[in-house]
Structure 1
Amino acid sequence: MAMVKGTRTRTGSVRLPEITAPEDMAPQDARDVSKVFFARLAALEEGTAEHQYARNTLIEMNMSLVRYAAGRFRHRSDEMEDIVQVGMIGLIKAIDRFELSRDTQFATFAVPYIVGEIKRFFRDTSWAVHVPRRLQEARVELAKAKEELSTRLGRAPRVAELAALMDLSEDEVIEAQVASNGYSSTSLDAAVHGDPDESESPLVDFIGEEDPALELVEDFHALAPLIAELSERDRRILHLRFVDELTQAQIGERLGVSQMHVSRLLARTLQRLRAGMLTPAG
């Protein structure tokens, strides 16, 4: 059972309570106490012991959200422990991005992050061959369209019929069909039958190495014009934060502004980029 057993010694007029066993705190208590910790976290400098204490306590207090979200996937064959660990990544991302000024409860804000991280884990580990995200999603829609048309027509649907139902071009349907082959795998030791005059070779000899940077190409392509529209100051802040990996306090020193001001500017810029990435191209 979680207990508040006094205050954490530090400077300043506002003190954070020290929580005993925060992971066992009841959900309602966690919601109330989390507000106090989020308010203080926003005012603390990154990298300090107190900032780390507040952040870690928020993670432990809200672990019940991860267990709740993970429970939706109990039907999966994956180990529940792995699912919970992946969900924790989503919880941490939500804590780092949440702002009390949002007109929403933290639980409402965090659960989509947690579920999204778990679904991403399934997507990336279920495919035998990695294919772009849009093609993974197209495979699901393709399967539904095939089932619907097969039932309606009493035969296997043609590419043109699938394209009309899915509102895609025939080339896009064919691309999705080819990508679907990556969902299952064949042993790398399986023999490949080539020229009759040549000896058989294992499949592994014909497979190239995966370039992990390829999965970022689409995101970079969509993000580049959005970054180009930012002001020079906003672009510099992004560079200092995500390229030079400076803390918000260090960026504030470079720009001659407070860490809180940097935090607000960074949050505003990331929200603008996120909205741009999620807006369908016109």
Structure 2
Amino acid sequence: MADEQASPPAPRPRRARSGGDPYDNIGPLLTELAALDAADPHREAVRQQVIERCLPLADNIARKFSGRGENFDDLLQIARVGMVQAVDRFDPSFGASFLSFAVPTIMGEVRRHFRDHTWALRVPRRLKEIQQTIGPTTEALAQRLGRMPKAREIAEEIDADLTEVTQAFIARNAYQTSPIDPAPGSGDDGAAASVLDTLGSDEPNYRTVEDYLAVKPLIAALPEQQRQVLIMRFFKSMSQAQIAEQLGCSQMNVSRILSKTLNTLREQALRD
């Protein structure tokens, strides 16, 4: 996912069989379109002709962004929206070629779609913009330094704060998420395990630990004899007869001490 929004190279329009640029002869149509009044009924026909001639350009740019987790038909639609915007905004009087204006306009529209609509979680726009530059910046620095660059070097190269670059690296995890439940039909042999399959099961001893932590201060507050009997019975696994022999009392007395101590601990634990 590291380069999902790295800037692809500008597409090269297919050449006409004569060897010329197929968009060279679109200039007269664009000049005619610019000269027509918005209320002129002929203007829409000329506009549609220009748009149809430029559809291959939008399709070519959409293909440049395919394979990055987005449906190609959606990318095609976004690229064509950008192409229509380029046709409507182009001003032949500036002297620039249509391609030099249309290509960055269309690519910018597709990039904005990736930036604003393809993140699984909400990420600040500033981090999205930094994340877009990390891929190409990393490649350029790796070639220049002969090794993978550090985050600090990337931050210096793009004139950003180190904290922002670090957060942008972390934010990349929010670009796409995996469903917890397995996808339908994913039970076939060789299929990748779902997130649910990788999760651990409940640990039954956790409850024991919680109970122990709850009664630990209560045990510490017991009278000395009660605490000794409890420890010998449940922590040293001594029988009541063994405890009675060690304390020099009857087994019946040990039984009463245990019963009284356990009832006291239960009442205090439930009350707390």
TM-score normalized with structure 1 length: 0.45
TM-score with structure 2 length normalisation? 0.46
Name which structure has the greater RCO, CA cutoff 8 Å, separation 6+.
2
Q: Which has the larger radius of gyration?
A: 2
